[in-house]
Amino acid sequence: MDKIAQDILFRFEARIEAIADEIADATVTEVAAYGPMTDDRLRTEVRALARHQLDTFLQATRAGTRPDATMLAAVRDRATTRARQLVPLAAMLHSFMIAQRVISAAIAREAGSGARARGAALGLTALTFDYNIAATTAMADAYVEAVQGDLADLDWARRVLIDTLLADQAAATPDLSRRAIGLGLQPDHQHVVALVRFPATAPDDAWMNSQHRLVHALARSTTRTERQTFVVNLGTELLAVLDADRPGRPRAVLHRTAAQLLRTQTAPLQAGIGTPFTGITRLRDSYHTARRALRHTTPERPILQAPDDLRLFDELTASRSDDADQLIPPALREALADPQLRQTLQAWIDHDLNIAATAKALCLHPNSVRYRLRRITQLTGHNPHHITDLLELHSAARLLTQALS
């Protein structure tokens, strides 16, 4: 290396702290994937890596060699960390290109306007590309290795995160926020929790494969990769975190997902969608409203979103304890134990107390419906034509149905 190039590097090194700051500021500002991770530690980490890379570049350039594995160890370590945080590989490459741009501009600035100095600067810039090729190759290799090795741990890590967020005292600490971002939850985005289950009649193998199938179908419905699709197996249900940036979007996504699943299995899904939330500690609220919605799903209403789809009467009569049906008076219990009478009562309510419509729904003669309604009055002392008696009968039938199911 001639003296002019050495002088340029000397002046470059004298400004190395300012150059590291410039790389860190540009990276945090320009790389979109780093946007949600806007805590002070991010810039500190980026700057520390930039400073290390500048030292490594100077060392390799003065020695006239390519950087070896020891020199690139920090690059590999950072790539592994970013892979586990689900930072896209494109974002990592973008950050390296920013560093290349800043370093090239700094060399040109230190060279000045002289022809010989500019020629030396051009040669040094070529060396920066050689260094950057070695660094980005090491980074990409480490990133891919981490992704392949980390897939098996992703489900476990997300389950631990969900357990933490559902705890009563969950607080949005910087560590928890960064872990959430790394696992696919953006604290500044609006999400909803959806709880999904398959009927008990589903074959065993359908439930065993349900998480994989749901992830695959959700990924297709949201145009995301399966790795980016946030689904956790809670044992009896699957918890999915969906974007809620537009009204009705989670419901539409789940309907498309349900339609895809029906192509490969006969058991339809049922899902409860919670209220939208922003900020990871509010996930717990969305989870509880999703559970409330799931409790009221039926084959006829398989996907419900709280609170819009929930009926107040359904919520008030939802059994929350094993002995809630003991509130039913004995006469009502004995009469409504007859499924035929319960079915008639429900059809009577569903068809707005209209004899003809109720008879048509039950495939009965209207006189048969009248007979059954009189029978209910005789056995219970409650007349289904009177609103207060009907509410009592309806509540008792709902609690009894839940107890028998």
Domain termination residue (choose one: 134, 152, 170): 152
Q: Rounded to whole angstroms, how far apart are CA atoms 197 and 239?
A: 9
The DSSP symbol for 365 reads -
Specify the residue for token string 């090194």.
13
Assess whether 293 and 336 both reside in one domain: no
Q: Which of 35-49, 222-236, 288-302, 384-398 has the lowest mean pLDDT?
A: 35-49
Q: Rounded to whole angstroms, how far apart are CA atoms 70 and 67?
A: 8
Task: Confirm whether 281 is domain-assigned.
Answer: yes
Mean pLDDT score of the chain, rounded to an integer? Answer: 83
Assess whether 203 and 254 both reside in one domain: yes
Task: Confirm whether 125 is domain-assigned.
Answer: yes
Q: Which run of H or E residues covers position 273?
A: strand 270-273
Q: Rounded to whole angstroms, how far apart are CA atoms 51 and 45?
A: 10
For 53-76, write each residue's pLDDT tens digit.
Answer: 888 888 888 888 777 777 788 888
Spatial contact of 274 and 289, defined as CB atoms under 8 Å apart: yes
For 271-302, write each residue's pLDDT tens digit.
Answer: 999 999 998 888 999 999 999 888 888 888 89
Banded model confidence at residue 385, pLDDT cuts 50, 70, 90: very high
Q: At 224, which amino acid appears?
A: R
The DSSP symbol for 202 reads S
Task: Confirm whether 333 is domain-assigned.
Answer: yes
Phi-psi label, residue 112: left if phi above 0, alpha if psi -120 to 50, beta otherwise? left
Give the three-state DSSP class for 163: helix
Strand partners, 238: 196, 233
Q: Return the HEC string of 44-84.
A: HHHHHHHHHHHHHHHHHHHHCCCCCCCCCHHHHHHHHHHHH
Task: Confirm whether 99 is domain-assigned.
Answer: yes
Assess whether 294 and 329 both reside in one domain: no
Assess whether 17 and 124 both reside in one domain: yes
Alpha helices in 276-325 (DSSP H): 283-295, 312-316
Task: Confirm whether 124 is domain-assigned.
Answer: yes
pLDDT at 43: 84
pLDDT at 355: 93
Banded model confidence at residue 201, pLDDT cuts 50, 70, 90: very low
Q: Which of 11-25, 151-165, 171-185 has the highest mean pLDDT?
A: 11-25
Assess whether 30 and 145 both reside in one domain: yes
User: The domain that contains 272 carries what CATH number?
Assistant: 3.30.70.270
Find the mean pLDDT for residues 192-204: 72
Assess whether 18 and 97 both reside in one domain: yes
Assess whether 24 and 145 both reside in one domain: yes
Q: Rounded to whole angstroms, how far apart are CA atoms 191 and 274?
A: 9
Assess whether 109 and 209 both reside in one domain: no
For 242-268, write each residue's pLDDT tens digit.
Answer: 998 877 789 999 988 888 887 766 567
Q: Rounded to whole angstroms, how far apart are CA atoms 324 and 66?
A: 75
Q: Are strands 190-197 and 270-273 parallel, antiparallel or unpaired?
A: antiparallel
The DSSP symbol for 381 reads S
Compute the C-alpha angle 187/188/189, nearest 5°: 95
Assess whether 216 and 106 both reside in one domain: no
Banded model confidence at residue 322, pLDDT cuts 50, 70, 90: low
Task: Confirm whether 286 is domain-assigned.
Answer: yes
Alpha helices in 183-278 (DSSP H): 204-208, 210-222, 249-261
Assess whether 276 and 355 both reside in one domain: no
Percent of the chain at pLDDT exceeding 90 = 23
Closest CA to 332 of 232, 259, 403, 245: 403
Q: Rounded to whole angstroms, how far apart are CA atoms 257 and 219?
A: 9
Range 64-67 contact pairs with CB under 8 angstroms and sequence separation of 24 or more: 64/1, 66/130, 66/131, 66/134, 67/131, 67/134, 67/135
User: The domain that contains 86 carries what CATH number?
Assistant: 1.10.490
For 102-118, write each residue's pLDDT tens digit.
Answer: 999 999 998 888 888 88
- Segments forming the whole domain that contains residue 101: 3-152
Assess whether 132 and 20 both reside in one domain: yes
Spatial contact of 142 and 88, defined as CB atoms under 8 Å apart: no
Specify the residue for token string 């509410």.
391
Written as six digits, the tokens of 124 are: 């040094």
Domain termination residue (choose one: 101, 124, 152): 152
Domain termination residue (choose one: 103, 132, 152): 152
Task: Confirm whether 59 is domain-assigned.
Answer: yes
Q: At 301, which amino acid appears?
A: R
Sign of CA dihedral 387, 389, 395, 397: negative
Assess whether 369 and 229 both reside in one domain: no
Tell if the pTM clears 0.85, that is, is over it.
Answer: no
Sign of CA dihedral 299, 301, 306, 310: negative
The DSSP symbol for 196 reads E
User: The domain that contains 373 carries what CATH number?
Assistant: 1.10.10.2840
Task: Confirm whether 203 is domain-assigned.
Answer: yes
Number of domains, the chain:
3
What is the b/e burial string over 153-175, where b = at least 16 CB atoms within 10 angstroms of the residue's CB? Answer: ebeeebeebbebbeeeebeeeee
